[in-house]
Amino acid sequence: MHAERTENDGVLVGGRGGLGHLTLNRPKAINALDLDMIRALHLTLDRWESDTDVDVVLLDGAGDRGFCAGGDVRALHEMIVGGRVDEVHAFFREEYALDHRIATSKKPIVAIADGVCMGGGIGLAGHAAIRIVTERSRLAMPETRIGFTPDVGGSWLLGRAPGRIGEYLALTGGTMDASDALYAGFADHMVPVAHLEALYEALENRADPSSPTELVLLFDETPEPSRLETAREWIDDAFSAADVPGILERLRARDEAEARETAELLAASAPTALAVTLEAVRRARELPSLRAALAQEYGLVLWFAFTQPDLVEGIRAQLVDKDRSPSWSPARIEDLPADRVAEAFAYEPEPALW
């Protein structure tokens, strides 16, 4: 199989020797996902599912900065502010359907999360059959930084991280390097950038019965110990508290400087986003499937988009005006209405996800 890879498409489609190759191609935007890219990926994966010439799919990103910085939140901001409700629904419904499609693919998908991989990028790479990071990888679910909540199946992954690492990463939006991503369950292998070209060639020219995993193992290396593993004691202690005020109290009582810095970060974050996200990760931990987690997230993201001012304000402060001074509503965790979290989970989106 071979297809031409053009330079102007949001997704480059190609491949050779039984390998289907998909490349996100918006390098100036660190390959941020828009709806056209989501649709192109989904259509191609559907076509390849029944294509006997394609055995394995490789998914990567163009440029040196990263695999995917996430969904195009500037476009989301414009949709919400402009009252384009149907477009907001369509974006999330189709993005989540793509994430689930990747997770349930009958043909193994090998994702290369080199460089930046955040938000929507986790939705693509984090659910692939073989998830590869490099020494340049920087993974995160930073949604609370814009007054939002982790989605694209992020709550499913976070809920399955060791101990209370999931709560910590979700609430802080903390960045993982390769070691952290492997430890937290967001990746399977670390392959140095210098070995990627050889890995690509091996996947294209592999001799049966070598599986993709067996080939990846020829190139992977063991990274340094994870800082998350080193910090487990104070993270588990603090983030096992019943609620956000309890987490803050425990963090402030710790001796570790990083714990106290984490308390300062959370105190300045959007109270609604923190409280809803904490509950979302804990509920996702008990859900039976990724599909169920995506359905839960779908209701939450639409609740944020259509009923809460924090999401629009967070995007404005971080990415539009870039003043880095959001005005959260409410501004303090102490002022969060007692029923706010229950309200979020009771929200019933129309139309439903699937």
Give the other-Cβ count within 10 Å of 128's Cβ: 23
Bond preceding residue 209 cis, omega within 30 of 0: yes
Counting beta carbons within 10 angstroms of the beta carbon of residue 307, is it exposed (0 to 12), middle (13 to 18) or buried (19 or more)? exposed
* pLDDT band at residue 208 under the 50/70/90 scheme: low
* pLDDT band at residue 7 under the 50/70/90 scheme: very low
* pLDDT band at residue 17 under the 50/70/90 scheme: confident
Residue 3, pLDDT score: 46
44 has a pLDDT exceeding 60: yes
Of the residues 72, 143, 177, 188, only one is catalytic, namely 143
Average pLDDT over residues 309-321: 96
CA distance 331 to 151: 23
The domains found in the chain, sorted by start residue, are: 11-140+178-217 (3.90.226.10), 227-346 (no CATH)
Of the candidates 117, 133, 128, 97, the one whose C-alpha atom is nearest the C-alpha of residue 24 is 117
Residue 132, pLDDT score: 98
State the residue for tokens 């982790």. Answer: 150
Of the residues 151, 180, 297, 313, only one is catalytic, namely 151
Give the other-Cβ count within 10 Å of 104's Cβ: 10
The residue count of the chain comes to 354
Residue 352, pLDDT score: 83
Counting beta carbons within 10 angstroms of the beta carbon of residue 36, is it exposed (0 to 12), middle (13 to 18) or buried (19 or more)? exposed
Residue 9, pLDDT score: 80
177 within 8 A of 205, measured Cβ to Cβ:
no
Residue 207, pLDDT score: 60
* pLDDT band at residue 6 under the 50/70/90 scheme: very low
Residue 205, pLDDT score: 87
* pLDDT band at residue 1 under the 50/70/90 scheme: very low
Of the candidates 280, 273, 267, the one whose C-alpha atom is nearest the C-alpha of residue 309 is 273
73 within 8 A of 319, measured Cβ to Cβ:
yes
Distances (CA, A) of 58 to 46, 77, 98, 113, 288: 14, 31, 15, 11, 28
CA distance 314 to 127: 27
CA distance 271 to 269: 6
Using alpha carbons only, how large is the chain's radius of gyration in Å? 20
* Catalytic status, residue 143: yes
* pLDDT band at residue 121 under the 50/70/90 scheme: very high
| Model confidence, pTM | 0.96
Report the percentage of the chain scoring pLDDT > 70. 97
Report the percentage of the chain scoring pLDDT > 90. 93
* Catalytic status, residue 204: no
DSSP-assigned beta bridge partners for residue 56: 19
100 within 8 A of 292, measured Cβ to Cβ:
no
Following CA atoms 231, 120, 299, 301 in sequence, which dihedral angle do they give, to the nearest 10 degrees? 80
Average pLDDT over residues 96-109: 98
172 has a pLDDT exceeding 70: yes
* pLDDT band at residue 209 under the 50/70/90 scheme: low
Of the residues 71, 153, 159, 166, only one is catalytic, namely 71
Over the chain, what is the mean pLDDT?
A: 95
318 has a pLDDT exceeding 60: yes
* Catalytic status, residue 71: yes
* pLDDT band at residue 2 under the 50/70/90 scheme: very low
